[in-house]
Amino acid sequence: MGKDYYKSLGVEKNASSDEIKSAYRKLAKKYHPDVNPGDKNAEAKFKEVSEAYAVLSDPQKRATYDHLGSSAFDGSQGSAYNAADFDFSEIFKSAFGGGFGGFEDLFGDFFGGSSSRNNSAVRGSNVFAQVQIDLLEAIFGCKKIINVSLDCMCDNCRGTGAKPGTFPENCRKCGGSGRIHIQRQSMFGSISIQMSTCNVCNGTGKVIREKCQKCRGAGTIRQEKKLEIDIPKGIANDQTIRISNKGGAGKNGGPNGDLLVTVYVKPHKYFIRKGDDLYLDVPIEFIQAVLGDEIEIQTVYGPEKIKIKPGTQSGTVFTLKNKGVPNVQNNRIIGNLILKLNVHVPTNVSDRQKKLLKEFFADNSDSKDKKKSFFDMLKDTFKN
């Protein structure tokens, strides 16, 4: 006598797929092993309804079943499907994928998100590294070799953690979910269900019977690697570059993590960077400030000639357009180089020089008048 899948789910032979799904959901909640720990009858019932649902929810399998009866699925010779192939946790998941309504509350985050399912694909970890460069490397961009220590996929087992030729099996205790539910009864008889990491598979959902000897079952091996990284033009001190997919190896087919490299730009002896602009203090001699001159400034892009007008004051600023740092987002935008002229005041002055300077200031009525008027004006600001 074959199994009656319709009867197992308590639906009519002409039931719609929605009716089948809702019937299964109701029964699966009732008989799920996590709600009935240790109850063999419930477990058998759960498997029965799950198998029925797996067949009846698939239009092709349902048609085969309608035509041939359950012998098509019982594993006997000539059967179309092998009943042992049913993965009950997968069937259950497919019926409850997405929202679970009240069931979700009962099981907390068990089915709430992919992150709690440890046997699903796990993204590799992000790896952090640092590199130090100088200002010119930051301005023009550069390639750097960095040493990182990261989890690489084990080439012996190809990341499965199992001895080559063997494969990890689904954990029987948790059905591959990595989590189990523990029922606790309080003094007053109320029962609470708590979640816990499966103690058999340690939350991985998989059990490795024979471990890969190279990685001892981890699937990854920590390795020191030299990686060449491209540092973009215009990078600023303390900025972090994210290099996708160059971090730790993913597990269960998950993607690799990212490599995050924080760049430290060594301060330059003369140039100071603010945003995309560079600042440079240029010392000039007293005589150059008074008489004017032409000087050559070494910018990061090469020499530039600057005309100093006669009578240039200390602190005078020159802006050389587009001689600063390229913007890291858009290299076509280049900051400016801002030059500040500082007049050097001589400190060791000979007697002859002192005499000449005194003569110079005696002649220079302009500077005397200006000084006087400045002090007068300053005094004026305190008068009512």
> What is the closest distance, in whole angstroms, from the C-beta atom of residue 216 to Zn ion in the complex?
8
Binding mask 215-234 for Zn ion (x = CB under 5 A): x-------------------
> Which two structure tokens, joined as six digits, stand for 274?
């603010």
Q: Which is nearer to Zn ion, 198 or 341 (CB)?
A: 198
Among 36, 125, 156, 252, binds Zn ion (CB under 5 A): 156
Among 201, 241, 308, 328, binds Zn ion (CB under 5 A): 201
Does position 200 interact with Zn ion (CB under 5 A)? The reply is yes
Answer for the pair 181, 196: CB distance below 8 angstroms, yes or no.
yes
Answer for the pair 245, 150: CB distance below 8 angstroms, yes or no.
no
Q: What sign for the dihedral angle of Cα 194, 196, 199, 204?
A: positive
Among 55, 154, 249, 339, binds Zn ion (CB under 5 A): 154
Using DSSP, state whether 3 is helix, strand or coil. coil
Using DSSP, state whether 176 is helix, strand or coil. coil
Answer for the pair 182, 176: CB distance below 8 angstroms, yes or no.
no
Instruction: Report d(CA 203, CA 117) in Å as an integer.
Output: 8
Does position 198 interact with Zn ion (CB under 5 A)? The reply is yes
> Which two structure tokens, joined as six digits, stand for 19?
């009716």
Instruction: Report d(CA 103, CA 268) in Å as an integer.
Output: 63
> What is the closest distance, in whole angstroms, from the C-beta atom of residue 210 to Zn ion in the complex?
11
Among 62, 163, 214, 233, binds Zn ion (CB under 5 A): 214
Instruction: Write a three-state SS string for 181-246.
Output: EEEEECCCCCEEEEEEECCCCCCCCEECCCECCCCCCCCEEEEEEEEEEEECCCCCCCEEEEECCC
> What is the closest distance, in whole angstroms, from the C-beta atom of residue 155 to Zn ion in the complex?
8
Does position 95 interact with Zn ion (CB under 5 A)? The reply is no
> What is the closest distance, in whole angstroms, from the C-beta atom of residue 275 to Zn ion in the complex?
49
Q: Which stretch, 74-82, 123-131, 145-153, 156-164, contacts Zn ion (CB under 5 A)? A: 156-164
Q: What sign for the dihedral angle of Cα 266, 272, 278, 282?
A: negative
- Per DSSP, 356 falls in state H
Q: Which is nearer to Zn ion, 175 or 335 (CB)?
A: 175
Binding mask 163-192 for Zn ion (x = CB under 5 A): --------x-xx------------------
Q: Which stretch, 34-42, 146-154, 271-279, 361-369, contacts Zn ion (CB under 5 A)? A: 146-154
> What is the closest distance, in whole angstroms, from the C-beta atom of residue 197 to Zn ion in the complex?
8
Does position 157 interact with Zn ion (CB under 5 A)? The reply is yes
| Distance, C-alpha 101 to centroid of its chain | 32
> What is the closest distance, in whole angstroms, from the C-beta atom of residue 150 to Zn ion in the complex?
16
> What is the closest distance, in whole angstroms, from the C-beta atom of residue 159 to Zn ion in the complex?
7
Strands 337-344 and 277-285: parallel
Compute how many residues bind Zn ion; rule: CB under 5 A: 12
Among 20, 139, 212, 280, binds Zn ion (CB under 5 A): 212
Q: Which stretch, 151-159, 181-189, 275-283, 306-314, contacts Zn ion (CB under 5 A)? A: 151-159
H or E element that contains 345:
none
Q: Which is nearer to Zn ion, 93 or 173 (CB)?
A: 173
Which is nearest to 257 in space by CA: 121, 155, 112, 154?
A: 121
Q: Which stretch, 113-121, 201-209, 252-260, 283-291, contacts Zn ion (CB under 5 A)? A: 201-209
Which residues would be at the binding site for Zn ion (CB under 5 A)?
154, 156-157, 171, 173-174, 198, 200-201, 212, 214-215
